[in-house]
């Protein structure tokens, strides 16, 4: 039983349901390793991918996940839609639903837009990133990758480094990792770390060398220049000097450190190329796990006939 109608975020999302998504994702990863990477689980189900913002990984992996589950999929791009002629978000959503669809996967620049969408349509909604709010499917694939690497999540030391303030990936990871019993430290420029972040159960450390020494894994974020005003970060060179995960910093550490990045990467800024391409990096494993995780979420939401009891 998976009692959720939608998948909007990991805030207050039950730990056992996170584990169920991860466990189911591992089962689907086995499917992805077969010569024929397809199962009939969502035959007859129609899903619309509604992307109002750029995406490479999330968009392609959702579409692949849908095809691997035998769902019918339609891709919507805001830039070529009637939104350009002045149609509202609500009218767009209701017109799409009128075509008898079962679910919408949406990326949108406005925080809370996925929840807002659930007020307009009856179809199931999956949040593929809503502004600076949450990116819950990314956090699931990150946690799956951590579990795959270490065999567990509980009691691990996980650092999230970078622009925490503007990062939906950071927020969803924090909710998920704390719920799963990991120790989480955030690190980055003071003006890019929310003031009350410790209320979420994380520690703050501005010294990246200490954080790299402490962590079992680091999840490295890019500076989100499209979401911030001018002048929050002086220069790429300065950012790299103070908070970059550089080869020198990694080489100083004696033990192995698992390197994660949700992408897209800005090489030479928040991460050096040698680090991103090293054996310690699981960045491309995260990408593959993204397909399995999204198969799991879609299957749990749409592949069961039981009534959903929970809106979250
Ligand atoms: N990690 C992530 O969300 O990447 P995209 O923006 O390419 O989807």
What ranges do the domains of the chain cover? Answer: 15-135+288-302, 137-286
Give me the pLDDT at residue 307, please: 46
The pLDDT tens digits of the residues spanning 24-72 come to: 999 999 999 999 999 999 999 999 999 999 999 999 999 999 999 999 9
Interval 110-122 mean pLDDT: 96
Residue nearest atom 1 of ligand 1, based on CA coordinates: 262
Nearest CA to 104 out of 76, 139, 133, 65 is that of 76
CA dist 246 and 58 (Å) reads 27
Helix axes 57-68, 283-302, angle to 10 degrees: 50
Give Cβ neighbours of residue 64 (< 8 Å, ≥ 6 apart). 291
Q: Is the CB of 172 under 6 A from ligand 1?
A: no
Summarize the confidence of residues 178-203 as an average pLDDT: 96
Give the whole-number percent of the chain exceeding pLDDT 90.
85
Residue identifier of the C-alpha nearest atom 4 of ligand 1: 57
The DSSP code sequence of 85-126 is: GT--HHHHHHHHHTTT-SEEEEEESSTTHHHHHHTT-SSEEE
To test ligand 1's pocket by mutation, which of 51, 52, 57, 106 has the most ligand atoms within 8 angstroms of CB?
Answer: 57
Decide if pLDDT at 225 tops 90.
no
Question: For the domain with range 137-286, which CATH number is right: 3.40.50.1370, 3.90.25.10, 3.30.420.40, 3.10.450.50?
Answer: 3.40.50.1370
β-bridge pairing 157-161 and 183-187: parallel
In this predicted structure, what is the pLDDT of residue 306? 47
The domain 15-135+288-302 having CATH identifier 3.10.20.30: the answer here is no
Nearest CA to 68 among 129, 123, 25? 25
What pLDDT does 98 receive? 94
Is pLDDT above 80 for 311? no
pTM score of the predicted model: 0.94
């Amino acid at each position: 039983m998976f009692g959720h109608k939608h998948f909007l975020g990991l805030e207050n999302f039950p730990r056992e349901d996170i584990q169920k998504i991860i466990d189911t994702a591992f089962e689907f990863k086995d499917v992805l390793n077969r010569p024929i990477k397809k199962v009939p689980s969502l035959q007859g189900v129609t899903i619309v991918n509604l992307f109002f913002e750029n995406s490479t990984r999330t968009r392609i992996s959702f579409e692949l996940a849908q095809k691997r589950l035998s769902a019918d999929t339609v891709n919507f791009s805001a830039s070529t839609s009637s939104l350009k002629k002045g149609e509202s978000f609500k009218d767009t959503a209701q017109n799409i639903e009128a075509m008898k669809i079962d679910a919408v996967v949406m990326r949108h620049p406005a925080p809370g837009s996925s929840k807002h969408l659930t007020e307009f349509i009856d179809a199931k909604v999956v949040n593929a990133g809503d502004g600076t709010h949450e990116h819950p499917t990314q956090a699931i694939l990150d946690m799956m990758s951590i579990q795959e690497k270490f065999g567990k999540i509980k009691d691990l030391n996980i650092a999230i480094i970078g622009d925490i303030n503007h990062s939906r990936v950071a927020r969803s990871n924090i909710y998920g990792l704390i719920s799963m019993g990991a120790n989480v430290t955030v690190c980055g420029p003071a003006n890019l770390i929310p003031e009350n972040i410790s209320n979420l159960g994380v520690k703050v450390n501005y010294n990246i060398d200490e954080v790299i020494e402490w962590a079992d894994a680091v999840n490295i974020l890019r500076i989100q220049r499209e979401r911030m005003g001018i002048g929050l970060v002086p220069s790429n060179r300065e950012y790299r000097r103070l908070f970059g995960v550089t080869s020198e910093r990694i080489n100083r550490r004696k033990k192995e450190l698992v390197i994660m990045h949700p992408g897209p990467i800005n090489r030479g800024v928040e991460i050096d190329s040698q680090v991103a391409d090293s054996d310690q990096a699981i960045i491309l494993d995260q990408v593959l796990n993204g397909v399995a995780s999204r198969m799991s979420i879609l299957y749990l939401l749409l592949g069961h006939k039981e009534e959903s009891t929970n809106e979250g």
